Amino acid sequence: MKISRSASPHSSRTRGTTSPSAGVILFRLGYVSIDVRIEYLQRVLIEHANHLDQFIVVSPQGNRIGSA
């Protein structure tokens, strides 16, 4: 069965624009409290605001950014 592009929920987006849910943030922190996870998330949202359409790996050693 062939699915037309118009059936895609993302087909109305224009190239070059992003939405907050366009990328992925993976937390590799092991067991830490929710407060610590929130701090990491806040830092990522501020420091990497221009990269939220990409794949971001968050770890205690630092953040890595790649294509999603």
Residue 6 has pLDDT above 50, yes or no: no
Q: What tokens does 40 get?
A: 């990491």
Residue 45 lies in a domain: yes
- Looking at residue 21, its pLDDT comes to 58
40-58 pLDDT, tens digit each: 999 999 998 888 888 999 9
Q: Is residue 36 part of a domain?
A: yes
Residue 53, in any domain of the structure? yes
Determine the structural domain holding residue 29 and report its residue range.
22-66
- Tell me if 44 is assigned to some domain: yes
Residue 49 located in a structural domain: yes
Q: Let me know if residue 60 belongs to a domain.
A: yes
Whether the CB-CB separation of 51 and 66 falls below 8 Å is answered with no
Number of compact structural domains in the chain: 1
Backbone angles phi, psi at 55, to 5 degrees: -90, 120
Q: What is the mean pLDDT of the chain?
A: 77
Q: Where is pLDDT greater, at 6 or 30?
A: 30
Is residue 22 helix, strand or coil? coil
| 48 inside domain | yes
